[in-house]
Structure 1
Amino acid sequence: MKALLVLLLCCFPVTVFADCNMAFRYGLLIGPDHIRFMQNTRTYVQINHDTQLFVVGEWVQLDAEDTELLQQYSQGLRKFVPEIVSLAVDGVELGLSSIESMLSGLGSKSQQAEWQALIRETTFQFMSRFVRTGEYFYLAPQSLNELDHFLNRELKPRLSNLARHTVGAVWGALRDALRQSDSNFERTDNQDWQSVEQLVDKISFGLDEKMVELEAKSALFCQRMRELDEIETALQQRIPLLSQYDVVTEKN
């Protein structure tokens, strides 16, 4: 299976969304009862229960056709955004949970604090772009191309470096102790460093699987965003106030 996955990845283009420049211009927060379009923590547009529209805090009265379009738009976002967020979150959770499980019970308290700080920093950087908490999903402003770039070129090296830094430091401390007490150190040393490489391979393989999934769905994702853009344009034509808050867009 792993060999097949590597072969498939070699056949893929570097950017799986090379022909799709669709993007979200605002951050999207999807909750059970509402959707918010946000920038820098400020909400500009809010949809409640898929039928009520608020623009900059002001309720917008809708007729039956407006409401039907708003429902289509809202329900489309509800299906699409959580899928994108979950794909990304599953990848990073796999990497971080693997690192944390390897570090459990190892090292001194000060070392544990240092490693946890590095993990928190990586988690914070990631959560500025993707959040999944219960029934809430957040996607930061970004294009589909940027999502691909983040998962493939930023996240994987960052998690691999974190794994090498933290777990490698653990085994370094263990080697120092073993040198003083174990004449069979060389055999143990090789085994320990193999564990680090296995962890990095596990992280890379898990993220590669997400890239395969992303590639398989790339045309569908792009088409969904184009359909959302069409519905959004129709809404803006009927509700001109929405025109200045263009959420789904195509980057040039």
Structure 2
Amino acid sequence: MRYYFAIILVSVSGWVQAALKCDADLQYGVVVNENHVRVQKHSRTLYQINQHQQLIVQGHWIELPAPQQQQLTEFAEGLHYSIPKVIVLATEGVELAISTVEQVYSGLIGQRSDGYDRLQDALWRVRRKVQGKFIHANLNNYIGPRSLENVDAIVEQGFESEIEQAFSTSLGGILSAVGGIASEGNDNLDERVAALAKRLERMGQKIAPQADTLRKQAEWFCNEVKRLDGIEEQLRRQVPELRPYDLIITEN
């Protein structure tokens, strides 16, 4: 049973997983709106950049020399531009994964089974976890700490545990889902698995353009975050008040 479920799971997650990966992350939460960028830890503001120019650290205004002021503006503008985009990217990527799982399940088992209700509950939990990390509300855009790294874990854990329970309600149910394999012998088993693989392949071809767009957006965002990390490191070296706060962390 797990072998056949693994075929389904790998096929589904493989189409969208690359769009959700990034080897950069945020150590703190970030709130971005039209007027400022706030870096937070446990809802407490560590520092804030107003109008891309004014630096406030722990409630104190920090005056900067011209070179550091220019770097601060570039850093704030980069966050202001990229944070809303990655929220859209994460949301669309997870929605694509969820939609694909729903289509696979409906095609194999149908929407009238008990497992379909459990699947919907599992997908709702996955969606809620992602929405709790990537928030757009009241003109504010928020990304929680470790959200870029953990979006993969959220999706994978949801698919591999909660969603698996919905698929594998019973051995007989799974065998029926792939076409009555249990009663038709091993020869027919190969035919059924091949037919299932073709159906999944067609589905993959259908969603490939959207998944490819998400991958390209994710690649752009990861490169942008790495660029901003370089600017941040320069600021932290030159502005003592920012030294304790390493917002962007990247893998070497």
Partner Cα separation in structure 2 for residue 16 and residue 51 of structure 1: 33
Q: Superposed, which structure 2 residues align to 1:208-223 within 5 Å?
A: 211-223=211-223
Deviation at 1:33, TM superposition (A): 0.6
- Residue 81 of structure 2 is matched in structure 1 by 79
2:156 partner letter: R
- Residue 153 of structure 1 is matched in structure 2 by 156
Partner Cα separation in structure 2 for residue 29 and residue 69 of structure 1: 19
Q: What do you get for the CA RMSD once the two structures are aligned?
A: 4.3
- Residue 108 of structure 2 is matched in structure 1 by none
Q: Give CA deviations for 1:155-209 in whole Å, capped at 9, x if unaligned.
A: 6679968999xxxxxxxxxxxxxxxxxxxxxxxxxxxxxxxxxxxx9xx989987
Partner Cα separation in structure 2 for residue 79 and residue 61 of structure 1: 24
Q: Superposed, which structure 2 residues align to 1:24-63 within 5 Å?
A: 24-63=26-65
CA contact (8 A) 1:29 1:37 kept: yes
Identity among equivalent positions (%) equals 25
Q: Give CA deviations for 1:133-157 in whole Å, capped at 9, x if unaligned.
A: 142111111264433x147524667
CA contact (8 A) 1:87 1:210 kept: no
Deviation at 1:39, TM superposition (A): 1.5
Partner Cα separation in structure 2 for residue 118 and residue 21 of structure 1: 27
Q: Superposed, which structure 2 residues align to 1:1-252 within 5 Å?
A: 9=14, 15=18, 21-90=23-92, 124-142=128-146, 144-147=148-151, 149-150=152-153, 152-154=155-157, 211-251=211-251
Q: Give CA deviations for 1:90-125 in whole Å, capped at 9, x if unaligned.
A: 4567869xx9xxxxxxxxxxxxxxxxx999866653
SS at match of 1:246: coil
- 1:226 and 1:163, CA in 2 relative to 1: closer, same or farther beyond 3 A? same
CA contact (8 A) 1:91 1:210 kept: no
- 1:123 and 1:51, CA in 2 relative to 1: closer, same or farther beyond 3 A? same
SS at match of 2:243: helix
Deviates more, 1:230-239 or 1:209-218: 209-218
CA contact (8 A) 2:93 2:214 kept: no
Partner Cα separation in structure 1 for residue 91 and residue 247 of structure 2: 22
Runs (4+) of structure 1 exceeding 4 A deviation are: 14-18, 91-96, 117-124, 154-164, 204-211
- 1:40 and 1:163, CA in 2 relative to 1: closer, same or farther beyond 3 A? farther
Q: Give CA deviations for 1:23-66 in whole Å, capped at 9, x if unaligned.
A: 11111111111111111111111111111111112111123222
CA contact (8 A) 2:130 2:154 kept: no
Q: How many residues align?
A: 192
CA contact (8 A) 1:21 1:143 kept: no
- 1:81 and 1:214, CA in 2 relative to 1: closer, same or farther beyond 3 A? same
Deviation at 1:127, TM superposition (A): 3.1
| Structure 1 segments unaligned to the other structure (5+ residues) | 1-5, 100-116, 165-200
CA contact (8 A) 2:33 2:139 kept: yes
Partner Cα separation in structure 1 for residue 75 and residue 20 of structure 2: 23
Deviation at 1:217, TM superposition (A): 2.8
2:233 partner letter: T
